[in-house]
Amino acid sequence: MGYRQIHIGELIQAYVKENNINGAELARKIKKTRQNVYDLYKRDDIEVKLLLTLCDVLNHNFLDDIYPQKKDQVAVDNVFDALKTIIKKEIADKTNK
């Protein structure tokens, strides 16, 4: 497969820290408790729906971090490319408001 093994919770936590977003702020944005956010940082996998929500509220496409573009793969890439396109469009639409 073309994806890298990655600890998604640590990836999200690093992004949040780099962008000076505190746990309470993120919790409000994703409609969870602060404890849920801290638990999320410990997880090595998450549901796609939650990942898409995080991409939207943080204006960052984590799928690009998890699954970088590969030219020699087709079927799986098409699914991830479609999700990446949706996320990029939502981020662009949100930024242009």
pTM of the full structure: 0.67
Model pLDDT, residue 10:
94
The residue that leads in pLDDT, 86 or 58, is 58
CA distance 51 to 45: 9
Q: Answer for the pair 69, 77: CB distance below 8 angstroms, yes or no.
A: yes
User: Which distant-in-sequence residues (6+ apart) come within 8 Å of 78 by Cβ?
Assistant: none
Q: Answer for the pair 62, 7: CB distance below 8 angstroms, yes or no.
A: no
Model pLDDT, residue 70:
55
The CATH architecture one would assign to domain 8-95 is: Orthogonal Bundle (1.10)
Using one digit for the tens of pLDDT, what is the confidence trace for 19-74? Answer: 999 999 999 999 999 999 999 999 999 998 999 999 999 999 988 887 765 545 55
